[in-house]
Structure 1
Amino acid sequence: MADSYPARQVRPRRRGRKVLVTLVVLLLVLGGLLAVADRVAVAVAERTIADQVRQEVANQQVESAAPEVEVGGFPFLDQVVAGRYDRISIRLRDVQGSVQGNAVRLPQLDVDARDVRASLDTLRTGQGDVVARTVDGTGTISYDSLAALLDRPGLKLGERDGQLAVTAPVDILGQRLTVNGVVEVVVSEQGEVSLKVNDLDAEGLPAVPLARSLLNQYAQGISIAVPLPELPFGLTVREVRPLPGGLAVTADARDVPINQTAG
């Protein structure tokens, strides 16, 4: 009897251990299934929002490659239930709008929408509004597109020591000269961008007042307001900075519908 007593004590421990292991495995499986379901729901939402953004961009007569959408925040399903999303990032490549017959190109426009409100029914049916409390956009305007707007043969723009530099061939008093200078980029409170030439010179410029006057006239001719195309999502330009790859544009907006309302 004494020998059999310890054996009866071991079995419940083993059985209890098996139950605990089984419970842990079930919880892991359930957690995995929930995580998979969460990611599947994210993918569906991203496709739905991408389709709606595509419609919105087309409605504003702006061309681009297919939008790339990423919904941030985890778990996603909790955000679905609440109808509010921490962040939706949208990337538009090869953005192009037409101004005065010239194509203005942004190789890439990144849009970061925060505190986004969208009902479950909107995501399910595509009907209704997806509204972001704040939207920030960053993109780069190619220098070739900007130079085309100035409509000066041979004119080239680029970044030099953090400034926007201009180079162009100019005929002055029968001489073909190359002018160089610095262009100031000014952004108004309304988001309008203008170029102002503050410093323009040409090597070999004749030392006569008429030559300098003609050079100043050329500088005034390229000091213009830049007629940028309407940016998607109601974005207003706030800052423009010359970079080696182009003119970097920072824009923002508030309480913005980021989809095309159907119906």
Structure 2
Amino acid sequence: MAHDDPYEERPRRRGRKVLITLVVLLLVLGGLIVVADRVAVGVAERAIADQVRQEIAKQGAQSSPPEVEVGGVPFLTQVLDGRYERISIALRDVQGSVRGDAVALPKLDVDARNVRASLDTIRSGQGDVVAETVDGTGTISYDSLAKLLDRPGLTLGEQNGRLAVTAPIDILGQRLTVTGTADITVGKEGQVALRFNDLNADGLPNQPLARTLLNNYARGISIDVPLPELPFQLAVREVRPLPEGLAVTADARNVPINSATG
């Protein structure tokens, strides 16, 4: 009767131990690579945030510290290639000044794609970080927009997807409440135009003069909105009323998303 040779089992056990050790080493090495990758992402995000802060200050605007997120995995291969899939930048409480009037942007989110930045630029902060495409979405608060119209008691908001206005008005000795909506258009240079063409007031006297006064009020609050210069050379393409404010969509092509230095 055949017996198992104990010497044959030892090489098998040694082989299994070597295999297990190799697997463990690979897992440890993979974990270290992942950690290093995430550490490198953090360093890059802080460097880009600092340069974006300089860009905002250069344009005479203010905001809370930029929040930067570098997308794409793995990150280190993007560093070596000098090209990044996506860099997202979140700006909050953006304040600009146009013609002495403050225009508030409580939120401005920027999504940069196919970003070119050398390793030296990320490491030293010197040089350009250039994005092939940049898309931005911001929100103008209704309060700041109402201040531009400069009519006591006037309030703005969203109603069925349109910009709605409510305001008190004195017409022929009567105190009335005006309501209506505005048409919004974006000009070639990104200028946003508000035109209040359809205003009504309950109790409006049935007289031509009363209607003329109401039409004059509508023309008085129809303005071209003086938007602040958006960062990253963003050009306004669309404006939509939302419950939280006037949503602005903008884009740009082949632009630096940092202040070039050095």
Give me the whole-angstrom Cα distance separating, in 1, the residues matched to 2:4 and 2:64. 76
The offset of 1:3, in angstroms, is 7.5
Matched to 1:184, the amino acid is: D
The offset of 1:189, in angstroms, is 2.7
Give me the whole-angstrom Cα distance separating, in 2, the residues matched to 1:4 and 1:171. 112
1:196 is aligned to: 195
1:229 is aligned to: 228
1:41 is aligned to: 40
SS in 2 for 1:194: strand
Give me the whole-angstrom Cα distance separating, in 1, the residues matched to 2:236 and 2:36. 39
Moved >3 Å (runs of 4+): 2-5
1:121 is aligned to: 120
SS in 2 for 1:46: helix
Residue 97, structure 1, aligned to residue 96, structure 2? yes
Matched to 2:183, the amino acid is: E
Matched to 2:41, the amino acid is: V
Give me the whole-angstrom Cα distance separating, in 2, the residues matched to 1:100 and 1:148. 13
1:16 is aligned to: 15
Give me the whole-angstrom Cα distance separating, in 2, the residues matched to 1:35 and 1:87. 19
1:245 is aligned to: 244
Matched to 2:13, the amino acid is: R
Give me the whole-angstrom Cα distance separating, in 2, the residues matched to 1:5 and 1:168. 98
The offset of 1:144, in angstroms, is 0.3
Matched to 1:100, the amino acid is: R
Residues 206-259 of structure 1, C-alpha deviation per residue, up to 9 Å, x if partnerless? 111111111101101111111111111111111111111111111100111000
Give me the whole-angstrom Cα distance separating, in 1, the residues matched to 2:81 and 2:108. 29
The offset of 1:162, in angstroms, is 1.1
Matched to 2:95, the amino acid is: Q
Give me the whole-angstrom Cα distance separating, in 2, the residues matched to 1:49 and 1:145. 30
1:56 is aligned to: 55
Residue 166, structure 1, aligned to residue 151, structure 2? no
The offset of 1:55, in angstroms, is 0.3
The offset of 1:29, in angstroms, is 0.6
Deviates more, 1:67-76 or 1:180-189: 180-189
Residues 47-67 of structure 1, C-alpha deviation per residue, up to 9 Å, x if partnerless? 000000000001011110000
Give me the whole-angstrom Cα distance separating, in 2, the residues matched to 1:229 and 1:171. 33
SS in 1 for 2:5: helix
Give me the whole-angstrom Cα distance separating, in 2, the residues matched to 1:147 and 1:5. 92
The offset of 1:126, in angstroms, is 0.4
Deviates more, 1:181-190 or 1:61-70: 181-190
TM-score (normalised: structure 2): 0.97
The offset of 1:4, in angstroms, is 7.3
2:132 is aligned to: 133
Matched to 1:83, the amino acid is: G
Residues 77-109 of structure 1, C-alpha deviation per residue, up to 9 Å, x if partnerless? 000000000000000011111122222111111
SS in 1 for 2:11: helix
Unaligned 5+ segments in structure 1 are none
Unaligned 5+ segments in structure 2 are none
SS in 2 for 1:229: coil
Matched to 2:188, the amino acid is: E
TM-score (normalised: structure 1): 0.97
Give me the whole-angstrom Cα distance separating, in 2, the residues matched to 1:171 and 1:230. 37
Residues 105-157 of structure 1, C-alpha deviation per residue, up to 9 Å, x if partnerless? 11111000000000000011100000000000011110000011111111110
Give me the whole-angstrom Cα distance separating, in 1, the residues matched to 2:115 and 2:140. 27
Deviates more, 1:99-108 or 1:134-143: 99-108
Give me the whole-angstrom Cα distance separating, in 1, the residues matched to 2:54 and 2:29. 38
Identity of aligned residues (%): 74
Residues 172-219 of structure 1, C-alpha deviation per residue, up to 9 Å, x if partnerless? 112111110111111123211010112101111111111111110110
1:63-74 equivalence runs, <5 A = 63-74=62-73
